[in-house]
Amino acid sequence: MSQSLSRALTILGLLGEETRSLDQLARELDVHKTTVLRLLRTMESDRFVQHDADHRYVLGSRFFELANRALEQRDVRTVARPHLAALNAATGQTIHLATLEGGEAVYIDKFDATQSVRMYSRIGRPAPLHCTAVGKVLVSALPRAEQRQIAQRIEYVRFTDRTIDSAERYLAELDLVAEQGYAEDHEEHETFVNCVGVPILDGTGRTVAAVSMSVPDMLLDHGQVLGKLPEILAVAEAISADLGWKPTEKTS
């Protein structure tokens, strides 16, 4: 790596920590101020850095544009796959990954249970929004106006006696999902199958996917499936972290 490039990258790293003056940067790089100023001017012309009225340097808008593009280019399925595989191996249960595409929740990855029981779902198949955990998670993250539009257009096909059958009930369910941070499918889509789903976030905090675990009650009952929630949440948080998400620090 050339010396100039190495110094420029070091400057960007230092400015990523906090603002610095020209004197501070020269001192930390152990080079003359003219050398640092030449690098800063080059980066400033391309908007990688900028300085304020007090001549303190900060990261520029071009840097953030590239950072956002880098996050957008990270494919959630590729990032999530090793985490989902580990959850599948640890629990032995069916694991789904779904995203919202064209107003539908679509399964984009799946790990079958290690038991003989297989779920009806398939990669590429839409998941009903009103009675699947992934569908509820994805819609609950949308603005309320979009939730209402979706709630009004759903046909509310009754797959089981537990299936949500009205827009009013569905909107109330979305409120619950948003409040508690996870969704349930308690024998709503398939009789004798329970499912728990949680959101996956990107670097902006936007819900970009949902991960779920589905289990026939001959293997685990409803309460036992809910008992797996901490494991599912941990996996979702790990995937979200890989996508650039950082939890907001709580202040006392």
pTM greater than 0.75 (yes/no): no
Q: Say whether pLDDT at 236 is over 50.
A: yes
pLDDT band at residue 36, thresholds of 50, 70 and 90?
very high
Phi-psi region of 205 (alpha: psi -120 to 50; beta: other; left: phi over 0): left
Supply the pLDDT for residue 70: 64
HEC string for the chain = CCHHHHHHHHHHHHHHHCCEEHHHHHHHHCCCHHHHHHHHHHHHHCCCEEECCCCEEEECHHHHHHHHHHHHCCCHHHHHHHHHHHHHHHHCCEEEEEEEECCEEEEEEEECCCCCCCCCCCCCCEECCCCCHHHHHHHHCCCHHHHHHHHHHCCCCCCCCCCCCCHHHHHHHHHHHHHHCCEEEECCCCCCEEEEEEEEECCCCCEEEEEEEEEECCCCCHHHHHCCHHHHHHHHHHHHHHCCCCCCCCCC
Tens-digit pLDDT profile for residues 72-126: 656 888 899 999 999 999 999 999 999 988 788 989 899 998 875 666 667 878 8
Give the C-alpha separation, 202 to 64, whole Å.
Answer: 15
Question: Which amino acid, 60?
Answer: G
Answer for the pair 14, 22: CB distance below 8 angstroms, yes or no: no
Tens-digit pLDDT profile for residues 170-190: 999 999 999 999 999 999 998
Closest CA to 87 of 216, 220, 228, 251: 228
Q: Say whether pLDDT at 252 is over 70.
A: no
Pair of tokens at residue 224:
């036992």
Pair of tokens at residue 228:
């797996």
Tens-digit pLDDT profile for residues 38-83: 999 999 999 999 998 888 999 988 887 877 666 565 688 889 999 9
Give me the helix-helix angle, 167-180 and 133-140, nearest 10°.
Answer: 80
